[in-house]
């Protein structure tokens, strides 16, 4: 489950970044890029909050 969430999170990061390069290359419009960045943002915050800090807590527990 955690691995799946991580994959979703990294895809979300890519969706945040890549569209701007597509705008740069003239493949998509800036408006579409902005919408994709917003989707990437929402998915990142929702998915990353399930796994990012749990690894930190595990690390502390191991000490």
Partner 1 sequence: MSSTQNLKQRLEAVNEYERTPIPKNKLKGWKSFIGTYAGEHTAGTEFVLGPLFVAHGASAGDLVSGLIVGNILAVLSWAFLTGKVAVKTRTTLYYQLEKIAGNRFTLVYNLVNAALFCFLAGSMIAVSATAVGIPFNLPMPSLTDVYPNSVGWVVTVFGIGAITTVVAMFGFNVISKFANIAAPWMIMIFIAAAVGVLPRLGINSFSDFWPVAETTIWNGVPLEGQSKFTFWHIMFFAWFCNMGMHIGMADMSLLRYAKKWTYGFSSATGVFLGHFIAWMASGILYSLFLIESKGSLVFAPGPIAYEAAGIAGAVCVVIAGWTTANPTLYRAGLAIQSINPKWKTWKVTLFVGLVTTIAACFPALVMQLLEFVALYGLILVPLGAVIFLDVFVLRKMGLASNYAELTNSHFNPAVGITWAVSLVFCLGLNIYGGIEIFFLGLPGWFVAVIVYLIASKVIQKKAVIKAADYTELNY
As measured in angstroms, the least distance from the Cβ of 51 to partner 1 is 10
19, 28 Cβ separation under 8 angstroms = yes
- Residue 24 found at the interface with partner 1 (CB under 8 A): yes
In the complex, minimum distance from the CB of residue 49 to partner 1, in angstroms, rounded to a whole number: 6
For helices 2-24 and 30-62, what crossing angle results, to 10°? 150
Residues lying near partner 1 in the complex (CB under 8 A) are found at: 13, 16-17, 19-21, 23-24, 26, 30-31, 33-35, 37-38, 40-41, 44-45, 48-49, 52-53, 55-56, 59-60, 63
């Amino acid at each position: 489950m955690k691995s799946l969430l991580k994959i979703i999170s990294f895809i979300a990061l890519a969706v945040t970044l890549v569209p701007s390069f597509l705008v740069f290359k003239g493949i998509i419009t800036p408006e579409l890029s902005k919408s994709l960045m917003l989707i990437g943002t929402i998915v990142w915050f929702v998915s990353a909050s399930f796994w990012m800090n749990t690894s930190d807590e595990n690390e502390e527990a191991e000490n």
